[in-house]
Amino acid sequence: MKDFPEFMKNEKNHIDSNQQNTKDIDGYFFTGADGSQMAFWTCYSDRISKEHKHPFDEYMVCISGKYIVTMNGQKIILNPGDELFIPKGTAQGGSCIAGTRTIHVFGGKRIIKEVK
């Protein structure tokens, strides 16, 4: 597959650009009954993700392309099928190449969306 299925990209679940740590990417999210969230992003050009921390654990998997995570000053290369666990409070950032798609699961509320 070259893209996420259309049913996963409902505009009501779109992540606003002001909540992205990477400029010019496209993302959507879902919230679980316990408040945890799953998000998936598509990067259409080479991009850098600014360093940030979360107050909850994060799990990510690379679906396509390549994502280089910088975690505690160490680079970790994720290729399709590679997974990574990022403990809460860990300084993280990175970069991705055009065509990269990733899925992230957060142990807390990462995306704040006003219900309209």
Q: Which sequence spans correspond to the domains of the chain?
A: 29-41+53-65+74-111
The model's pTM is 0.89
Integer Cα distance of 37 and 112 in angstroms: 10
**DSSP string computed for 63-100:** EES-EEEEETTEEEEE-TT-EEEE-TT--EEEEE-TTE
* CB atoms inside a 10 Å sphere around CB 77: 11
Tens of pLDDT, residue by residue over 45-98, are 999 988 999 999 999 999 999 999 999 889 999 999 999 999 999 999 999 999
Place of tokens 């006003």: 114
What type of residue sits at position 68? I
